[in-house]
Amino acid sequence: MNLHPPPGLTHFISILLTICLLGLAPSVILAQDQLTAPPSQSDQSSLEDDYLWDDEEELIIFDPIEPFNRAMFWFNDKLYFYLLKPVARVYRIVPEPARESVSKAFSNLGTPVRFVNATLQLKLKEAGTELGRFVINSTIGILGLFDPARGMGLKKHEEDFGQTLGHYGAGPGFYLVIPVFGPSNLRDGVGRIADSLVDPITSPYYLELKQLEEIGLKTYDQVNDLSIDKDTYEGIKRDALDPYLFVRSAYMQHRAAKVEE
C-alpha cells in the first residue's frame, strides 16, 4: 500500500524549503538611513515582554539563543564575502541603469504583498496607492522596468505580514538569525511564510513556477540588489566593535519603527 502525503502538506513543505534557499543575500544589508548605533547591553533577566524600552528609550532585545544566532551570523558573513558579493561585483559589468530597472521590475512584481498587508492593516489609502502604482508601472512603466508612478506622487509603501502582526499587537518574540536570510525575529519569520503565499513568484496561485525557477528568480533579484548596494555591510564590519550587536540593534529598531508607522 503506497501512502502519499496530502497535497496541502506537500506544498507547505515545498514553501519552507524554498524560503530556506531563495534569499541568497543576507538581509544584514540594510539601507544606511535605517542604521543607528547599537544600544548598550543591559541585564535582560528582568524582561517581562518580548522587548521593552528602558528609561533612556533604548530598545532592549530578547536574545535567548545568542550562541546559535552568532553561529548563523558567522555563516551568513562567510556566505556574503566568499560567494554573494563576488558574484554581485562581477554582475556590475551590466550598466547600473539596467540593474536599477531590474530592481524596479521585481519590486513591482511584489505589489500583492504590499497591497494585501496594507489592506489587512486597514491602511486603505496606502493600499489604493499600491494598486495605482501597479497599474501605472505595469503599463506605462513597461512591466515595472520604470517607475512613472513615483513621478505622479504615488510613493511605494513597504508593508509585510510581520508588520501586520505587529500592527495588531503581536510582539516580535525572540531575535533570530536565519541561515542565508540574516536578521529576523519570531514574528517576522512567521510573516515570511505568510508573504510567500501572496508573492507571485513563490505563491501557487499566480505563476505556478517550479521550485528551481522560484529559487533562480529570487536569487537573481538578490544578486542584482547586492550589485547596486554601496558596500553597506563592509562599512559595518569595518566600523562596528561588534557587528553582530550592531546589526541586531539596527534590525530590531528598524522593525519596531515600521510597525509604529
Say what the pLDDT of residue 209 is. 84
The pLDDT value given to residue 58: 61
- Res 86: pLDDT: 95
Within a domain: residue 130? yes
Dihedral of the CA atoms 161, 162, 163, 168 (nearest 10)?
90
- With 0-12 / 13-18 / 19 or more C-beta atoms within 10 angstroms meaning exposed / middle / buried, residue 258 is middle
All three cell numbers of 216: 533562480
Establish if 12 belongs to a structural domain: no
pLDDT at 177: 96
Q: Is residue 125 part of a domain?
A: yes
Q: Where are the alpha helices (DSSP H) in 140-242?
A: 148-151, 161-167, 186-196, 211-228, 232-239
- Residue 98 forms part of a structural domain: yes
Pair 245, 58: CB distance under 8 Å: no
Tell me whether residue 39 is in a domain: no
pLDDT in tens, the chain (261 residues): 444 444 444 444 444 444 444 443 444 344 333 443 333 333 333 333 344 444 445 678 999 999 999 999 999 999 999 999 999 999 999 999 999 999 999 999 999 999 999 999 999 999 999 999 999 999 999 999 999 999 999 999 999 999 999 999 999 999 999 998 899 999 999 999 999 999 999 988 877 788 888 889 988 999 999 999 988 999 999 999 999 999 999 999 999 999 998
**How many angstroms separate the CA atoms of 238 and 233, rounded?**
9
Question: Is 241 domain-assigned?
Answer: yes
> Over the range 157-196, which residues count as b (16 or more CB within 10 Å of their CB) and which as e?
bebbbbbbbbbeebbbbbbbbbebbbbbbbbbbbbbebbb
Domain extent, residue 85, equals 51-260
Residue 7 lies in a domain: no
The answer to whether 117 touches 163, Cβ cutoff 8 Å, is yes
What is the pLDDT at residue 136?
Answer: 97
Residue pair 111/134 in contact (Cβ under 8 Å)? The answer is: yes
Residue 241 is given by DSSP the state S
Give how many domains the chain has, as a whole number.
1
Specify if 32 maps to a domain: no
